[in-house]
Structure 1
C-alpha cells in the first residue's frame, strides 16, 4: 500500500486496491438465485463512489449517521464505505432486531438516513416512524413489495446510485476531495454492544482502530490477495467488521456472500474459504451434527472414523507440546486423513481453510479438540467491541485449548491486581457515543478495562476465567466458573444451551435446553412420540438422557462445581424474548429472573443426580 499509516481510512484503502486490481480481480461474490454474481475491485469502488455522492445529493452531511439494517450482502459494504467517504458515520443494527430495539438505536444515534435490505426491514422503520423525527430517508436495497408505497421518505438504493453518478458527471473531482478530508481517527462505525449485563452502549470505532487490528492479526496469520473469505455473520458484530471489512480490504481478499443464512453450510463447500470466523454456536452445531452421523454410521465406518479421530488427536497433542511427529505418527496421520478426516473437512466445507477462528464466547475444550483432531487449524481468539475485535490469538505453533493465545503485535495485555484483563494499543476504541461517564470507567491512561477475569500463564498465553460478574461463589465461599461447566454440557450433541447457577447457594444446579434436532432424531429412533419442543423436553426418557450427560460431565468436575440438580427448559431460548443477545449469548440476569421459580424448585429437590 502506497499510503502512509497516518493517511489510511477504509475508503482510501478501497480506492488503492481498485487502482491495483481494477477489473482483473474479483472483490465480492454474492449468490443470487443459485448463481454466483461477481463484483470486481473497480466496480466495488464505483458502487461506493456513486452511493456516497448520491447520499450527499439527498442531504447527508459530515458527522451525520447512516444506520444499516441488512443481512450479509454487498449493499451493506457499499453503504458503510460510502458513509465513511462522506465523513458520516455508519451505525450497525442486527437484521433480526425487533422494531422497538431498532427505534431505541435510531433515536440514540440520531440517524438521519437508514439503509434497509427489503420490505421486512422497511416495515420496522415505518412502524415506529412517528417516534423518530430525525429519520429523513429510508433507502431500500430490494424494493420488491414497496413499488407502490406512497411514503415520500422511501427511495431505492439504485436511485441513490443513479443520483450519485449524475453528480459525479457534473462535479468529477468531488469524491477525491472527500477522501482527502478523511482522517484515521474519524469514527468509522458505531457498533452497539450486546448488553448481556445491562443496557447496550454505542462503541465508537475509528479507521485507525480497525486497520490496526487488521495489521496486528495478519502479522500472526497472513491473509493473501488470493484468499477467499465467507461473510455470513452480522456486520453489526465487530468480528465481521474485522474480517470482511478491514482485513479483506487491506489484503485484497475476495469476500463471498452465501445466498441465505439457511444455505451457509452448503455454500461453504462451493466457496472453499481460506479464512473463517464463527461464534461457538457454529462450531457446536457442526460438531454435534457429525457426532450424530458417526453414531448412526455402520459399525465398520464408525470404528474407522473413531480410530482416525484418535490418531488426529494424538498428532495434534504432539504439536501442542512442541514435539516433532515421528515417522510412524506421520504415516498414521496420513492414513487417518485418507480414512475419514479429509472427508469430514470436505463435508464441512473446510478443506481449504488455513485459519479458522472461534470468538465471542468461550468454546468448550472438547469441541475445540475435535476440530483440531480432524486437521482444522481452529484457534481461540479474544477481543470485544471496545478492543476493535481480535487482540489475542494463538500462533500456529502454539495452539492450546485451555488458553486464548498471545497478544497480537501492537497490543499490550496485563491483568490488574483485582484479576481483570486490561488491553492497550491503537485498537482500543474511542469511547461510547454520548456516554462520557461510561467511557471514563472503561478507559484509563490508555488501558481498556474489559470486565473479564483472567491470568497470563508462564508461556505468555492469556487465560480467560469468565466475566468478572459471572465468576460465582457458593455459600461456603468456594468459587467456580459457570462457563466451564456450561461448555462441558454443550459438548453433548443433545444439549443446545446451558445456564449454570450457584451464586450464594449451597451447590450448583443447571438449566438446560435440549437440541431439538438431535434429541428429536433420538426420540424417533427410539419410537418415542412427541409433538412440540415443550412436549419432547418434558418426556421422562429425555430427562433420563440428559441425566446421563450431566453424570458424565460431573465426573470431570471438582466436587464443589458438580451439578446437583438440573431442569429442562420447555422452550428454545430466543433473542426476541430477551433471553439471548443478538450475538446469541445468554442474558444470565434475564434467565435468573424469568426462571426464578424453576431455579427455586431445583434447590428444593432431594435425591438429585450426583
Structure 2
C-alpha cells in the first residue's frame, strides 16, 4: 500500500491529476506525481517524522491533499484528515485527541483556525501550508527544500518496511450525534477494500474520476486509491459548489462518485425546463424516456430490443436522451451514489438515458465500501450485493452486521466504543436493513433515528423524508414525532430553485426567507407533502409542517460534510418550531 504511488510513478505513463490553475486545466502525469510525493516524503523525514506518528491534513479537496496523503503513507506515518468546514474547536479536538505532530493546512483561513488553538496543542510541532504560508508555517517549497538532505532511496526503504497490519489512517467520523470517534484503518483494511471493489468493478487505465467530495471522507480516499491503483486520472473540482453541474460537463468524467444531492441537481436540470414548457415538448421528452426504459429493461432481462423498439430508441436518443448524457459530459460510464437514500425514480431516469447511477453502501468502519450495485447486476432500491469477502447478516432487531478483512481495527483511544460496535469480529453498523433472496441489501433506516410515536408505532423517518426531498423546491426535510401523537416536519427550500418557485407562485421576490412565509409557496409544499402522504399509512403521514427561512448548513453544524442531516442538532436548535406544530 505505502509504495503504491511510487510503483505507479515508475510503471504508469498516463495522466494522474487534472486541476484548474489560472483559468486553464493543468494535467500531471504519474512520473511527476511520484516525484512530488517523494519530495514531500523526504521533507517529512527531514523534519523527523517516524512510523506511526500522526500527520493531520486540514484542507479542501485539491491535488496537494493527495500528494501529502501519499507522502505520509510512504514514510509509514498515519494520516489524520480534518474537515475544512470544522470550527476551531472541532479542529482542536481532532488534533489533540490524535496527538498529531505534523499538520498540513490549506491556506490562510485554515492557518488562522490553528493559530488560535495552537497553544492548546503541545504535541503539534510542525505546520506546513499548501498556499499562503506565513510565520510559523512552512510552505511546500520549503518542506521540499528541507528534504534535499534526505536520500531518495530512504523513502523507498520506509515504504517497503510498512506492513499490512500497520495503521494507515485515523478517520474521525462526522457523526450525526455526539463527538467524533477516530476510526483506525490499517494498510490491510484499505488494500482489502480496494481488492474487493476491483473484483466487482473494472476500472480501465483511461478512466477519469471527478473528485469533489471531501478527501477527509473515507469514500473519497478509497476512490483516490482505486484510481491510482488502476492508473486512472483524478480530476479535481474548482472548489465552487455553484459550478458543480457545469464542471461535470466540462471535465467529461468517465466515473463519478457522489452523494445524492449532485444527481438530484442534474435530474432537476434535465427535467425542470421541460416541465415548464409543457405541451408537445414535454410529451416528446416523456416518450423518449419511456423508450429508453424499455430498452434497458430488455437488456437487463438478457435479451435485445426488437426492431421497432430499436428504431424508436435511435430517434429518442437523437432528440432527447443524448442531452441528458451531455449534462455528465457525454463520456460517463459509471456513477456511484451513497451516504444517503436516493429516489429509485431518479436512478431509472438516468439509466433510460444511458447513464448508470448505482447505489452502494459502506461506512468509515468498513474502509468505505461494503456493498455496491454494478451495471451487470443491479436492483434499484437496494445498495447491491456485499463485496466478495464481506459477510453480511441481519440481526434479530434488523441491524446490519458485517465482517471481513476491510473492517476497521477499532476506535482510537476508545475501547468502550470499540467493544460496543465490534463483537466477535462482527461490526454492528447501527443501520437497519434487509437481504432479499438474491442477496441484495436494502437499507431501511437507522436504529437511532427511529421515531416511536405515542401509540408505540416505530417509524423510519428517512423513508418519507427522501420522497419529499425529490421535489424541485425542497432542499432538506426533517421529520419529528418521537413520543408524539402524529408526525410533523421542518422543510427548507432549495435556494437554487427559489427564483423559479417565486415566479410560479407569483411571489414578489426570490429571497428564501420571504418565500418561506408566502402562502403560494406554502401551498406548493403542502401539495408535495399531500402527494407523498398518500403513499403511507395514516400513522406514518406528516400532519403539519413549517418552512424554515433558510437552508440547513455545515456552517451552522446542522449538516455533516457529506450533507447528511445532524438530526439531533436540528431537533435541539429548532425545538420551539417543532413544539409549535403540536399547539
Q: What aligned pairs does 1:397-408 form with structure 2 within 5 A after superposition? A: 397-408=376-387
Question: Equivalent of 1:167, from 149, 157, 165?
Answer: 149
Match of 1:90 among 58, 67, 79: 79
Deviations 1:321-349 (A, max 9, x none): 66653333333233221111111110232
1:154 to 132, 137, 147: 137
Structure 2: distance between partners of 1:546 and 1:65: 48
SS in 2 for 1:67: strand
- Name 2:160's counterpart in structure 1: 180
Match of 2:534 among 555, 567, 573: 555
Deviation at 1:266, TM superposition (A): 2.6
Corresponding residue for residue 21 of structure 2: 32
8 Å contact kept, 1:67–1:93: yes
The 5-angstrom pairing of residues 333-412 of structure 1 reads 333-349=313-329, 351-412=330-391
Whether contact under 8 Å (2:42, 2:155) holds in the other structure is yes
Matched, 1:76 2:65: yes
**Equivalent of residue 267 in structure 1, options 230, 236, 247:** 247
Q: Provide, for residues 331-381 of structure 1, a one-character-per-residue CA deviation record: whole Å limited to 9, x for no partner.
A: 3233221111111110232x2222111101111223223222322111110
Report if the CA contact (8 A) 2:245-2:266 is conserved.
no
CA change 1:247–1:180 in 2 (3 A) is: same
Q: Per-residue CA shift, 1:244-295, capped at 9, x if unaligned?
A: 2x21121111111123334333332232211111011111222223332222
SS at match of 2:28: strand
Q: Deviations over 1:64-88 (max 9, x none)?
A: 2111112222211111111111121
Cα-to-partner distance string for 1:289-327 (whole Å, 9 max, x where unaligned):
333222234743332222212222333445556665333
1:150-229 alignment runs, 5 A limit: 151=135, 153-164=136-147, 166-168=148-150, 171-229=151-209
Equivalent residues of 2:486, 2:543 under 8 A apart: yes
Q: CA deviation at 1:211?
A: 1.8
**Cα deviation 1:540-580 (Å, max 9, x = unaligned):** 11111111111111122222212211111122111222211
Instruction: Give the aligned partner of residue 129 of structure 2.
Output: 140
Instruction: Name the counterpart of 1:13.
Output: 4
Whether 1:533 aligns to 2:524 is no
Q: Distance in 1 between matches of 2:471 and 2:7?
A: 48
Unaligned runs of 5+ in 2: none
Structure 1: segments with no counterpart, 5+ residues: 1-8, 605-610
- Give TM-score scaled by structure 2 length: 0.96
Cα distance in 2 for residues equivalent to 1:275 and 1:501: 37
Aligned to 2:471: 492
Count of matched residue pairs: 582
Name 1:50's counterpart in structure 2: 39
Equivalent position SS for 2:266: helix
Cα deviations across residues 11-54 of structure 1 (Å, max 9, x unaligned)? 31112222212xx3211111112212122111111111111111
Q: CA deviation at 1:232?
A: 0.9
* Contact 2:214 2:561 survives alignment (8 Å): no
SS at match of 1:28: strand
Q: Distance in 2 between matches of 1:550 and 1:422?
A: 34
Distance 1:410 1:525 in 2: 52
- CA–CA distance in 2 between the matches of 1:381 and 1:419? 19
Q: Secondary structure at the match of 2:183?
A: strand
* Counterpart position of 1:608: none
CA RMSD of aligned residues (A): 1.8
| Match of residue 99, structure 1, among 88, 92, 96 | 88
Contact 2:245 2:327 in 1 (8 A): no
Cα distance in 1 between the residues matched to 2:54 and 2:443: 35
Distance 1:481 1:313, change over 3 A: farther
Aligned to 1:575: 554
Asked if the contact 2:513/2:550 (under 8 Å) is kept, the reply is yes
TM norm structure 1 = 0.92
Partner of 2:418: 439
Shift of 1:519: 3.0
In the alignment, is residue 60 of structure 1 matched against residue 40 of structure 2?
no
Q: Report what 1:4 is aligned to.
A: none
Deviations 1:462-494 (A, max 9, x none): 111101112323222333221110111011001
Matched, 1:424 2:413: no
Q: SS where residue 128 of structure 1 aligns?
A: helix
Residue equivalent to 1:460:
439
> 1: distance between equivalents of 2:532 and 2:504?
25
Cα 1:316–1:488, aligned 2, differ >3 Å: closer, same or farther?
A: farther
Query: How many Å separate the matches in 1 of 2:471 and 2:293?
Result: 18
